Chain A
Amino acid sequence: MAEPGGPLLSLRSVTKVFGEGDATVHALRGVDLDIHPGEFVAIMGTSGSGKSTAMNILGCLDVPSSGQYLVEGIPVEDLPADVLAALRNDRLGFVFQGFNLLPRTSALANVELPLVYADVPARERGRRARQALAEVGLAGREDAHPNQLSGGQQQRVAIARALINEPEVLLADEPTGNLDSRTSAEIMTLLSGLNRDRGITIVMVTHDVEIAEYAGRLVTFRDGGILSDQPRSAA
């Protein structure tokens, strides 16, 4: 187990290579990054600099080509597939730029989804999903399908889904990328509230400097490596 005070998530010399031969892409070229409990980290960087690749590895959705990813000091590569699934299910919440909600499925059912795989009984699922929707300001829209909701509302549903199992870490890859500035501000208020009031660790990728202002630390990527890593408290 991890020593107290150690990082919650850490990347050690992580590389990621896609394709082979002429088509080889070095998405990550040796990244070292420690995320401590309770932090709110913003990741910025040009398009193609490897931000999403790093996020997918942090979210246990992908694995490094070399190097190590440790969760509470435990190398993820040693964990069996079912344990990884459980990790995604109740310790990590993921929010995507494109929302990734199930189409033709109600907001309530979308939010319930992680609980289905946690073997929570149907009644309990409904109760908790309703509550989670209310917390993101969507009480009354339980039966709406994604195509009946605005972008901001869809992202709120996705956040409710990511939070339903009370994870320690929320990973958000350009959560406001598809939203207008007013809606973006609402989403950011929601996220910083979660970080401040519930102590949820947040790692968020963004292109927008104003959005990055909400975070306490700014990590900048370039060409598959980390260009700078500094606290934002100065601002």
Chain B
Amino acid sequence: MRITTTTGLAVAALLRAKMRSLLTTLGVVIGVAAVIIMQSMGTGATALVTGELSGLGSNMLMMIPGSAHGMGGPNRSAPLFTPADLEAIHRECPAVRYAASSNGRSARVVVGERNRSTNLLGTTAEYFDIRQWGTELGRTLSDDDQRQAAKVCVIGETIRNELFGAGVDPVGAEMRVHETSCRVIGVLEAKGASTFGQDQDDLVLMPASTFARRIMGDDKIGVVMLSAVSEDRIDEAKAQVESLMRQRRRILEGEEDDFTVRDMRELIALMGTVTGVLTSLLAGVAAVSLLVGGIGIMNIMLVSVTERTREIGIRLAVGARARDILAQFLVEAVVLSLLGGILGLLIGAGGSYAASRMLGIPFTLPPMAALLAVIVSVVVGVVFGVFPARKAAHLHPIEALRFE
């Protein structure tokens, strides 16, 4: 029998029981919608996270104390870095363009009656180059500020709004930072919240030397931020810094480093695994609902084969071959599940659009996802349609005709 004739038969049979057909496809609708949302949100979230991380400066490297193979996080016993280390990196690592110290702690900042607990960062001029941060008002920290241990600070948008008021120009104003009076020299460009909901504008930066003298009481450096000359020299920069530090720390051949240099690509890869976990979770939901949907289709097709036993008998009596009956019921199952797939695609696309709007993730619907939805639903139809269709095809003509 021709495939167009078979398809016509299938559609006619399904139209005879519209409501039942629609309800039967529900499982596949949900399954395919989950596949679509998974694809769309997965790509959206990955694009967002990698975009944000590369916004950190993709040439960026970060050196922290402790072995990379330790139990995660900086090792307390591992020695911190010194201003001399920083100078040596500047001097001896040609693949490193910028290097800046970075020490953070929380601190209370006060202006008049208003005060706020914020993140205080002691750093050097090149930090702004590494992070590619500019100012909205005033200027960033300079080498002179560092040399003189000047009592100056650059503040984030949130600090300006909370302590001085939105729209106010605070440059030149005094602000108390943890018992020290500082002059505001600049306001950073607003960056908004990060993917993880952190306010990136809630911070105060001061020269590392001032931070060491006024706040911490020593000039040890917790984190060294670095930037390679170019993206293709990241590995080279990393190797140069590592070998310099091993030399300066007199780490012998075969001994493990007591510091770690990480680059952003590793971080991006890490984020990839996080979104990967989310994606596989959604994939699980999709798989379960497709399974349930498939069983639903199988069930209704079995019912349909039983109900239409006489019809099958009549068809066999006028010359249908087993494979004609098989094709008829298989095509019916596939049409049913394809219908579910198309509905699921529409609902999935609508759902991911709404969700991406709500979560502030860019909306993408990869063409592959649409193709996948169609393929998946056809496969479900075939897999779960084969059993009922075979049952129909193997009926005995007379027994089928005698069926009440």
Return chain A residues, CB-CB under 8 Å to B320: 85, 117
A134 in contact (CB, < 8 A): no
List, in ascending order, chain A residues with CB within 8 A of B310's CB. Answer: 100
A114: interface (CB < 8 Å): yes
In the assembled complex, A49 has its CB within 8 A of some CB on chain B: no
Give chain B's interface residue range (CB within 8 Å of chain A): 20 to 34
Given A61-B397, A119-B2, 5 more pairs with CB closer than 8 A:
A88-B317, A90-B319, A114-B319, A117-B321, A117-B324
Indicate whether A94 reaches chain B with its CB closer than 8 angstroms: yes
In Å, the complex CA distance between A59 and B315 comes to 14
A117 with B16: CB separation less than 8 A: no
The verdict on A117 contacting B1 (CB below 8 Å), with A59-B317, A100-B317 known, is yes
Q: Does B229 lie at the interface of the complex (its beta carbon under 8 Å from any beta carbon of A)?
A: no
User: In the complex, are the beta carbons of B398 and A88 less than 8 A apart?
Assistant: no
Quick check: B317 and A117 within 8 Å, CB to CB?
A: no
Please tell me if the beta carbons of B1 and A119 are within 8 angstroms of each other in the complex. Answer: yes
Q: Say which size band chain A's interface belongs to.
A: 20 to 34
Instruction: Let me know if B150 is at the binding interface, CB within 8 A.
Output: no
Residues of B within 8 A of A96 (CB): 401
B93 at the interface (CB under 8 A from A): no
Inter-chain contacts of A94 with B (CB < 8 A): 317-318
Q: Is A23 an interface position by the 8 A CB rule?
A: no
The answer to the question of B163 belonging to the interface, with a C-beta cut-off of 8 Å to chain A, is no
Task: Tell me, rounded to whole Å, the shortest Cβ–Cβ distance linking B227 to chain A.
Answer: 72
User: Which of B314, B319, B401 is A85 in contact with, Cβ under 8 Å?
Assistant: B319
Contact A116 B398, CB 8 Å, known A82-B321, A90-B319, A100-B314: no
Q: Which of A62, A87, A116, A165 contacts B1 (CB 8 A)?
A: A116
A81-B322, A88-B319 known; A56-B311 Cβ under 8 A: no
Q: Which of B315, B317, B321 is A81 in contact with, Cβ under 8 Å?
A: B321
User: Given the complex of chains A and B, what is the CA–CA distance between A104 and B308 in angstroms?
Assistant: 12
Minimum CB–CB distance from B125 to chain A (whole Å) comes to 82
**With contacts A62-B397, A62-B398 known, is A117 near B319, CB below 8 A?**
yes
Max chain A C-beta neighbours (<10 A), residue from B310, B396, B397: B397
**Chain A residue nearest to B315 in the complex (CB):** A113
A115 to chain B, nearest CB (A): 9
Q: State how many angstroms separate the Cβ of A36 from the closest Cβ of chain B.
A: 24
Whether a CB of chain B sits under 8 angstroms from the CB of A25 is no
Taking CB atoms and an 8 Å cut-off, the chain B residues in 361-404 that contact chain A are 396-398, 401
B359 to chain A, nearest CB (A): 49
A103 to B12 Cα, complex, angstroms: 13
What residues make up the interface of B, taking CB atoms closer than 8 Å to A? 1-2, 5, 16, 310-311, 313-324, 396-398, 401
Q: Which residues of A contact B398 (CB under 8 A)?
A: 56, 61-62
In the assembled complex, A227 has its CB within 8 A of some CB on chain B: no
Q: With the chains together, A62 CA to B397 CA distance in Å?
A: 7
| Residue of A with least CB distance to B323 | A82
The answer to whether A86 has its CB under 8 Å from any CB of chain B is yes
Query: Is A89 interfacial (CB-CB < 8 Å)?
Result: yes
Give me 7 A-to-B residue pairs in the complex whose CB atoms sit less than 8 angstroms apart, sorted by A's number: A62-B397, A86-B319, A88-B316, A94-B317, A94-B318, A100-B317, A100-B401
Q: Is the CB of B397 within 8 A of A89?
A: no
Residues of A within 8 A of B315 (CB): 113, 117
Most A-side CB within 10 Å, residue of B16, B311, B317, B322? B317
Best-surrounded residue of B318, B319, B396 (most CB of chain A within 10 A): B318
Give chain A residues whose Cβ lies under 8 Å from the Cβ of B318: 88-89, 94, 113-114, 117, 161
Tell me how far the C-beta of B8 lies from the nearest C-beta in chain A, rounded to whole angstroms: 9
Name the B residues within 8 Å of A61 (CB-CB).
Answer: 316-317, 397-398, 401
Are A102 and B314 in contact, with the CB atoms below 8 A?
yes
Q: Is A118 an interface residue (CB 8 A)?
A: yes
Q: How many whole Å from B10's CB to the nearest CB in chain A?
A: 13
Q: Which residues of A contact B16 (CB under 8 A)?
A: 104
Min CB distance B5 to A, Å, is: 6
Closest A-chain residue to B396, C-beta based? A62
Interface string of A79-114 (1 = CB under 8 A from B): 001100111111000101000111110000000011
When the two chains form the complex, which single residue of A62, A89, A100, A122 contacts B5, counting CB atoms closer than 8 Å? A122
Most buried by A among B311, B314, B397, B398: B314
For B5, the chain A residues whose CB sits under 8 A away are: 116, 122
Task: Assess the B319–A102 pair: CB atoms within 8 A.
Answer: no
Which residues between 15 and 67 of chain A lie within 8 Å of chain B, taking CB atoms? 56, 59, 61-62
